[in-house]
Chains A and B, each alone.
Chain A
């Protein structure tokens, strides 16, 4: 096991008969992932991209020993799909589905956590370790095996940055797109310990966004517990201030949550800060060349 996935990862795709489910099953297989089962209620006995389809996750696990799931089912049914995954005993699930109400996600997160299932997402690109496995939708073309870890709250910006790392002649160990929804299954702080322990990761790239305080929380963790060099980028430095959560939200995040507070916190924690996405690969390369921790 590198970070959460490896060559032993066996994926069940929930919502495999839908358009996205089918397309990404093909892509995950092309990446080299063992996609062992699909689930769509009422479609048992059929096949999608050569993958057997079952009526329930429990059936799929019983027959194929799936140990990871990827959820593509539409938002109104995502909560049920996740509860089913958890009850089938699957320890890792990526939820690609977007627009899941956060009230549903609150229940999903705490239920999964109490039963030992880790959620990545929702509304996220998922996780990929080149040469091992991908549970999610990050385009295969951006990868190349290497020793740079990437964690990000963004989607396409993650692809942009991972691709930049590849084009600079470097490669990635594991890349996780956590998603930027109000409630996420795995935060930066949750993901950092895996990269700290991972013998295949030398440098970590952290890609954040304005809003919330996940980056400040990450900075605090990095300061005390993370020994590898970090290159950080925060998108939205010049965006007009968001007002998503209203006044009561503002007092929770009081004095935090802007690009400035995030960058300052990360810098103070010892991270190198990139001002633009295209500065990241060069900074990573310098750290790799120096061969020493920060």
Chain B
């Protein structure tokens, strides 16, 4: 999942013809002042931190300015701020508009319906989660005909738009739908969508691009979500790796088994901190790499819980034995292994030869690793 900063989202909106306020991105107070002086950004204007977290206005990451020196001051105040863990490196300057109403419009996927869904509300400008259900309208979209004219009219009615703004919505919704499809988005959201004079303007943009479509969107490759350095290495090696607080490392295969393992460890007072999902692999080298990565995270103990399918037990055992030879002494950790399923006998034998016992029972193996990590928390 790639979350785009507001300005990147707006670049996408621009591509599809969604109306935006006049503005530009700047990266220094000097650049901000110059943009205001040249008239490129009309005054008065709004200065917005380009961070992914919400609640920017409340958190002091959005300011208003009336003159070029004020723009510079506002920019200097926001740039470099630490906002909910993100450092502000970019600002979006936009001319302030005379807003009559603030609406909400988004398209996302409804998993249960297995259809995209158009979500609208008259109560824009606030987090949509805080809007009461009754004030939210939902319209499923069939991907074959796309968003029909009657559905667009229904949206205009539910937003109580008529005349110019209703006409503007009729043009905007197909554009938003095209952006959702063509950019492989999980979410395209305009909040607020402002009624300005006789038309509509997207004051904010939230666009989330789906990871699985990366093969046809090389343009998003350099935009990364925040990852720890180890998570980044894991990503390059195609190992699912998540680092949280906790002292037990878990290496499993498959998301469901990883989660079930976590549930069991917690039950016995364990505090799992690093999760490494091998996925489906029959390459012992990948297993070795996974273990070396795990060693770098310095867990107090590691639980290897594998159910062999595509990933066979003997493959995992070979990779593990190889890794244990390579892990530096300083990074060694107690290990509890449980390998079941395809080629279990061969795998268990390989481990036994290397002095590692596989504990077949899930409960017993989980208890053993919690004890190895220093007992229940």
* A-to-B contact residues, CB < 8 Å: 20, 23, 75-76, 98-103, 106-107, 109-110, 125, 137-139, 141-142, 152-160, 163, 180, 182-184, 187, 207, 209-210, 212-214, 217, 233, 235-240, 244-252, 254, 275-278
Once the chains bind, are B1 and A244 in contact (CB under 8 Å)? Answer: yes
- A247-B128, A248-B106, A248-B108 known; A156-B256 Cβ under 8 A: yes
- A125→B257 CA distance, assembly (Å): 14
* Known A110-B143, A139-B308: A154·B112 in contact at CB below 8 Å: no
Provide the B254-272 mask, 1 if CB < 8 A to any CB of A, else 0: 1111011011101100000
Which residues of B are at the interface with A, using a C-beta cutoff of 8 A? 1, 3, 54, 106, 108-112, 114-117, 119, 127-129, 131, 133, 136, 138, 142-144, 181, 184, 186-187, 189, 206, 208, 210-213, 215-216, 244, 252-257, 259-260, 262-264, 266-267, 280, 306-311, 340-342, 344, 361-363
Inter-chain contacts of A141 with B (CB < 8 A): 341-342, 344
Check A252/B257 contact, CB under 8 A, given A101-B210, A101-B213, A238-B266.
Answer: no
Report the nearest B residue to A111, measured CB to CB. Answer: B144
A167 CB to closest chain B CB, in angstroms? 9
Kindly report which residue of chain A lies nearest to residue B188, judged by CB atoms.
A248
Q: Which residues of A contact B106 (CB under 8 A)?
A: 248
**Contact flag A237-B263 (CB < 8 Å), given A75-B212, A163-B307:** yes
* Interchain CA distance A278-B344 in the complex, whole Å: 19
A235 touches B109 (CB 8 A): no
Of B110, B114, B127, B213, chain A has the most CB atoms within 10 Å of the CB of B114
Query: In the bound complex, how far is the Cα of B306 from the Cα of A127, in angstroms?
Result: 21
Given contacts A102-B109, A158-B256, 12 further A-B contacts (CB under 8 A): A98-B280, A103-B210, A138-B309, A155-B254, A156-B306, A180-B256, A212-B112, A239-B259, A244-B1, A245-B186, A250-B129, A252-B117
Contacting residue for A157 out of B136, B138, B244, B257, CB 8 A: B257
> Is there an interface contact between A157 and B260, defined as CB atoms closer than 8 Å?
yes
Q: Which residues of B contact A246 (CB under 8 A)?
A: 3, 108, 186-187, 189, 206, 208
Query: Do A247 and B127 touch across chains, with their CB atoms under 8 A apart?
Result: yes
Min CB–CB distance A78 → chain B (angstroms): 11
- A sample of 13 inter-chain contacts (CB < 8 A) reads A99-B211, A103-B184, A139-B342, A156-B309, A157-B254, A159-B309, A160-B307, A183-B109, A184-B114, A239-B259, A251-B131, A275-B267, A276-B264
A residues within 8 A CB of B187?
A: 245-246, 248-249
CB contacts (< 8 Å) of A98 on chain B: these are: 280
CB atoms of A180 and B255 under 8 A apart = yes
Question: Quick one: given A106-B143, A109-B114, A156-B256, are A238 and B210 in contact (CB under 8 Å)?
Answer: no
Which residues in A have their C-beta under 8 angstroms from that of B264?
276-277
Residues from chain A with a CB closer than 8 A to the CB of B215 are: 75-76
The answer to whether A100 and B342 touch (CB under 8 A), given A138-B309, A248-B108, A252-B110, is: no
A100 near B212 with CB under 8 A, answer yes
Give Cα A214 to B111, complex, Å: 8
Which among A110, A154, A207, A250 is the interface contact of B142 at CB below 8 angstroms?
A110
Q: Which chain A residue has the least Cβ–Cβ distance from B104? A: A248
Which residues on A sit within 8 Å (CB–CB) of B109? 102, 106, 182-183, 245, 249
| Nearest CB of B to A77, in Å | 10
A277, closest chain B residue (CB):
B260
